[in-house]
Amino acid sequence: MHVLAETAVATERPSLSPEQLRRLYKQKSENARKSATRNGLWIAVAAYLAYSFTDYLFIGDVVRYTAAGRLLVGVAALCILELLLYRKAKADTVDMAAAVSVLAAYLVWLLTAQMTTVRDAFSYYMVFGAIFMMSVNLFFSFRFPVALAASATNMLIFIVALYLFAPMLLLHKLILGAFCISCFIFTSYVNLQLNRERYKVFLNALEASLQQAAADERGKALLHLSNTDSLTGLENRRAIDQRLRDYWQRWLDNGAPFAVLLIDVDYFKHYNDCYGHQEGDRCLVAVSRRLQSVASSFGSVIGRYGGEEFIVITPMQNSERAAELAEVMCAAVRALAWPHEHRRDGTSVITVSVGVSYTRDQTKQVDKVIHEADRALYAAKANGRNTLVVFDPEDPQSSDDSEDIAATLKIALEHGLVSLVYQPIRNVQTGKTDAVEALMRLNMLDGTSVSPGKFIPVAERTGSIIELGRWAVRTVCRDLLATDLVQVVSINVSPIELKKPGFSSYVAATLAEFGVTGARLAFEITEGVELEIDKDVVRCISDLRKLGAQVWLDDFGTGFAGLSWLRLIEFDTVKIDRSFLHDCNTERGKRMLLDIISLLRNRGVSILVEGVETIEHLRLMQQYGINQLQGYYIARPGPAAQLETDNVLRFSTVRNPDSKRLFRNGA
């Protein structure tokens, strides 16, 4: 169900009539009322017995009668009360019994006290009858009808006794009668107000509980949104990353081994090109369901790791058992017999390749397990696909080339092996380039290129990223910003750089050297970094903002910290990951993207959508009112010289997506 619709339903207040609300109030307050009446009556009986002392002072000649009457009535009242509670009588019945007990107590005292020969003292002592009236209205938490009936009866008894037993002038009787009536009126009114206030408190508490329930539902919906892949319904990268940390911690604490399987759908890009993205999504859903069924039977956790790649985490005692699971998964997908007629390897159905890694060394990091599974997956693809490979550190085929990359990085700047290309970020409303993103490229000594996904982690591990990052800042300031070739350049920054002391100082010095204002430089931080736990990173970001530099959040929606980051850091721009746009060939995908756009607009940040690769993507973004776009359909990455050509062109066709000349230089 659409997440915003779920949260909207959760915030609706139940449609209850006043009569239904009052019944609910009685039901909710039932036990509290009985408890209050019980406590009140025990205290009242104790006080009632204690007043025997005043009997002794004022009408001592009949104290033995009044005291005996008080004791008899008090014990009887408590016995009746406890019997009713034992038999689980309703609160109304308990209240009625307590009210009758109060009236009986007053009447017994009055009848015994009037036998006194001290008539004058008795005449004034009768005024204490008002205490019984006040107790039913104010001391007990009786409902208004019960309190009104009991206090009215008490008033009538007092007035009758006043005129029958009190030896005083008629004027005095009128005064005392007026006093009694006044007490009745005012205490009854107070009782009415107290009952109304208690009902209001109940309504406020009910509303507060509903709001809390709605907040809980919204939290669950947002958590579900942040942890679930919108297409397949599996756990997403964020949730799986947390699962990995949990499994790793159990491995460290209890020695509970586990295996990681990376699963890639073979030739899936070619499948999308041949059958279309909508059919590709149907294929991914079918594959994910089959994999999930197998994973569940093995007590494993499965998630979508990105694109056509899935990940399985499974508690396993040995690598052979993990290999068995991988083989079952390969066979399960083949059994789908999902057509893929355009493959060139002699197979006509969808298959998967699986890389398996197994925990062996607790001194390593959890990322190493993923890296090993990735290397095994790479080997499985190299072996012809539709197969599995278990990572073996002794097998040359499983070894990676990180050492060669690390050696190359040491001399990359000196030998000109590293370069920057720039991908424009266009405003489709004006047709102009608002900014460009600087992307780093690396060539080996033999001229072969290395993808950033391979050399950036090596650079971070070896520390080369520090020098490379500073070189990138200096290069864009010198070649692009100082020459006013573009207005804004964004640079991807590693958490290693942000943690390193002096990074913000270097940026400040570079800006000053080339006379560039900080606002023209933007630093992109990928969501996958856990900034909350590193104060140095947060402090460095704050220092960069003081320089006027912009801070962007990259790949929003794919990592494990996105929502909390929006609270932690004030971002200038948030780049929505390309996967959400590519999922928009389904209504569910469109609603998901709209949810994210709405969330970011409410936060007041600028929104940039990545991965615009087709004219349909462009039209959809214009429909959603997103102006800043980036992707191969907008413009491909290129050298700085290409930007000069881009800047003199005026893309008047931007607002007309049907034009064949749209972004002709970048498509």
pLDDT digits (tens, 9 = 90+) for 292-323: 999 999 999 999 988 899 999 999 877 788 88
Q: Which two tokens stand for residue 667?
A: 């498509």
Burial class (CB in 10 A: 0-12, 13-18, 19+), 663: buried
**Per the domain annotation, does 620 fall within a domain?**
yes
Are residue 262 and residue 248 in the same domain, yes or no? yes
331 shares a domain with 193: no
**Is residue 657 predicted with pLDDT exceeding 60?**
no
Indicate if the pLDDT at residue 98 is higher than 80: yes
455 or 528, which is more confident? Answer: 455
Q: Which of 398, 429, 459 is the last residue of a domain?
A: 398
Q: Is the pLDDT of residue 131 over 50?
A: yes
Hey, how many other C-beta atoms are within 10 angstroms of the C-beta on 633?
Answer: 20
Domain boundary among 398, 429, 463: 398
Among 28-32, 148-152, 417-421, the range scoring the smallest mean pLDDT is 28-32
Catalytic residue, from 308, 372, 497, 524: name it: 308
> How confident is the model at residue 367, as a pLDDT?
82
Lowest mean pLDDT among 16-20, 321-325, 434-438: 16-20
Of 52-61, 66-75, 436-445, 553-562, the one with minimum mean pLDDT is 553-562
Residue range 340-350: mean pLDDT, rounded: 82
Give the domain CATH number at 556.
3.20.20.450
Residue 655 reports pLDDT greater than 80: no
The two tokens of residue 466 are: 């520090």
Would you place residue 330 in the very low, low, confident or very high pLDDT band (cuts 50, 70, 90)? very high
How far out from the chain centre does Cα 462 lie? 36
- pLDDT confidence bin for 527, thresholds 50/70/90: low
pLDDT at 214 over 90: no
Q: Are 158 and 109 in contact (CB under 8 A)?
A: no
Provide CB contacts within 8 A for 339, sequence distance 6+. Answer: 348, 349, 350
Question: In whole angstroms, what is the distance from residue 291 CA to residue 311 CA?
Answer: 10
Confidence of residue 23 (pLDDT cuts 50, 70, 90): confident
What is the identity of the amino acid at 377? L
Q: Tell me if 117 is assigned to some domain.
A: yes
| Same domain flag for 491 and 632 | yes
Secondary-structure percent of the chain, ordered helix, strand, coil, rounded to 5: 60, 15, 25
| 337 belongs to a structural domain | yes
pLDDT above 90 (res 531): no
Task: With respect to residue 231, please indicate whether it lies within any of the assigned structural domains.
Answer: no
Angstrom distance (rounded) from CA 444 to CA 456:
14
The two tokens of residue 654 are 């931007």
Tell me the chain's radius of gyration from C-alpha atoms. 40
Mean pLDDT over the full length of the chain: 85
Q: Residue 344: what pLDDT?
A: 66
Domain count, the chain: 3
Same domain, 376 and 406: no
Lowest mean pLDDT: which of 93-102, 281-290, 553-562?
553-562
Task: Give the pLDDT band (50/70/90) at residue 264.
Answer: very high
- Exposed (0-12), middle (13-18) or buried (19+): which is 251, by Cβ within 10 Å? middle
Rounded to whole angstroms, the Cα distance separating 284 from 294 reads 15
pLDDT at 181 over 70: yes
Bridge partner list, 427: 432, 628
Quickly list DSSP for 393-414. Answer: TT-GGG--SHHHHHHHHHHTTT
For residue 601, what are the domain limits?
Answer: 402-649
Is there a domain that residue 495 lies in? yes
- Tell me, yes or no, whether 383 and 242 share the same domain: yes
The pLDDT of residue 134 is above 50: yes
Question: Cβ(231)–Cβ(279) under 8 Å?
Answer: no
CA distance 550 to 489: 10
- Look up 327 and say whether it is catalytic: no
Instruction: Tell me if 507 sits within 8 A of 533, measured CB to CB.
Output: no
Examine the domain organization and report whether 476 and 347 are in the same domain: no
Evaluate whether residue 355 is within a structural domain. yes
The yes-or-no verdict on residue 664 having pLDDT over 80 is no
Last residue in a domain, options 398, 424, 453: 398
Does residue 360 share a domain with residue 268? Answer: yes
Please report the pLDDT score of residue 562 as a whole number: 62
| 495 plus 440 within the same structural domain | yes
In this prediction, residue 331 carries a pLDDT of 94
One domain for residues 458 and 473: yes
**Residues 170, 292: one domain?**
no
**423 shares its domain with 393:** no
Measured CA to CA, the distance from residue 74 to residue 155 in angstroms comes to 21
pLDDT of 230 reads 87
Q: How far apart are CA 614 and CA 627, in angstroms?
A: 16
Whether residues 259 and 175 fall in one domain:
no
Residue 411 forms part of a structural domain: yes
Q: Tens digits of per-residue pLDDT, 366-408?
A: 888 888 888 888 778 867 788 999 988 766 444 556 667 888 8
Instruction: Report which secondary-structure segment, H or E, holds 270.
Output: helix 268-275
What's residue 645's pLDDT?
A: 58
CATH code assigned at 268: 3.30.70.270
Cβ distance 235 to 229 under 8 Å? yes
Residue 96: which pLDDT band, with cuts at 50, 70 and 90? very high
pLDDT, one tens digit per residue, over 561-578 is 567 677 778 899 999 989
Question: What is the percentage of the chain residues whose pLDDT exceeds 90?
Answer: 42
What tokens does 602 get?
């409410």
Q: Is residue 213 part of a domain?
A: no
**Distances, alpha carbon 387 to alpha carbons 284, 323, 349, in Å:** 18, 11, 14
